């Protein structure tokens, strides 16, 4: 990006603050020791209704991700218990087979 006759290396980001949720902006992407103070909005300010909707959807998505992760942990626990139960069943079947052969 060119600003004031100078080329500025920028990166684009998305704001997640309550007042600017989902709004994109550019800022200098140089390392800290070379960073300039360049910063500008890409998007116009969004209506309150839109920022509220985006914020609510983001919160709902985060809650669903947390719920999914908890369910995945429960699946791992259940699979572990079932694997142990299957091993016990196999052990007792083998023990029963040994007794029958005697």
Task: Enter the pTM of the model.
Answer: 0.61
Strand-pair partners of 11:
27
Q: Which two tokens stand for residue 93?
A: 């079947």
15: exposed, middle or buried (Cβ count in 10 Å: 0-12, 13-18, 19+): middle
- Determine phi and psi for 18, rounding to 5 degrees: -55, -35
Distance separating alpha carbons of residues 69 and 75, to the nearest angstrom? 10
Average pLDDT over residues 46-50: 93
Please tell me the predicted confidence (pLDDT) of residue 35.
Answer: 83
Domain boundaries, the chain: 1-46, 47-102
Using the predicted structure, report yes or no on whether residue 57 has a pLDDT greater than 80.
yes
Check if the beta carbon of residue 69 is closer than 8 Å to that of residue 63. Answer: no
């Amino acid at each position: 990006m060119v600003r004031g006759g100078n080329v500025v290396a920028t990166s684009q980001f998305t704001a997640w603050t309550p007042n600017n949720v989902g709004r994109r902006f550019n800022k200098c992407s140089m390392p800290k020791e070379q960073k300039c103070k360049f910063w500008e909005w890409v998007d116009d300010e969004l209506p309150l209704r839109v920022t509220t909707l985006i914020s609510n959807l983001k919160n709902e998505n985060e809650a669903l991700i947390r719920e999914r992760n908890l369910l995945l942990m429960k699946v791992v626990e259940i699979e572990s218990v079932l694997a142990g139960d299957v091993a016990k069943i196999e052990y007792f079947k083998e023990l029963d087979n040994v007794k029958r052969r005697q």
